[in-house]
């Protein structure tokens, strides 16, 4: 099993996270403030330079005003649409 950060699935998750943030009209600065982090922390998470675990993802979802189950449901839909390939980015 390869590290998830190098999979297409992880890349899709990061795109969805960024799209969700933008759709909810939350800037990286706003999200960082809500998380008690720096804007560069949010940027690194969105670019995949910093790996997030499920608890961190849950915290980000709550800071955005959504829930982890809703985010995962959208992610599953997106993964099915992509053909769920496991190639590298």
Domain regions of the chain by residue span: 4-71
* Model confidence pLDDT, tens digit, residues 33-71: 999 999 999 999 999 999 999 999 999 999 999 999 999
Helix (H, G, I), strand (E, B) or coil at 88: strand
* Model confidence pLDDT, tens digit, residues 3-29: 666 789 999 999 999 999 999 999 999
Q: How many helices (H) and strands (E) does the chain have?
A: 5, 0
- Model pTM score: 0.83
CATH code for the domain defined by 4-71: 1.10.260.40
Q: Retrieve residue 25's tokens.
A: 């009209």
Q: Are 18 and 24 in contact (CB under 8 A)?
A: no
Q: Retrieve residue 31's tokens.
A: 């999200």
């Amino acid at each position: 099993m390869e590290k998830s950060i190098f999979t297409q699935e992880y890349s899709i998750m990061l795109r969805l996270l960024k799209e969700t943030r933008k759709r909810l009209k939350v800037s990286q600065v706003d999200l960082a403030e809500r998380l008690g982090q720096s804007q560069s922390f949010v940027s690194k998470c969105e670019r995949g330079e910093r790996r997030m675990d499920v608890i961190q993802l849950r915290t980000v979802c709550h800071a955005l005003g959504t829930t982890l189950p809703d985010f995962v449901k959208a992610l599953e839909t997106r993964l099915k649409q992509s053909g769920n390939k496991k190639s590298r980015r």
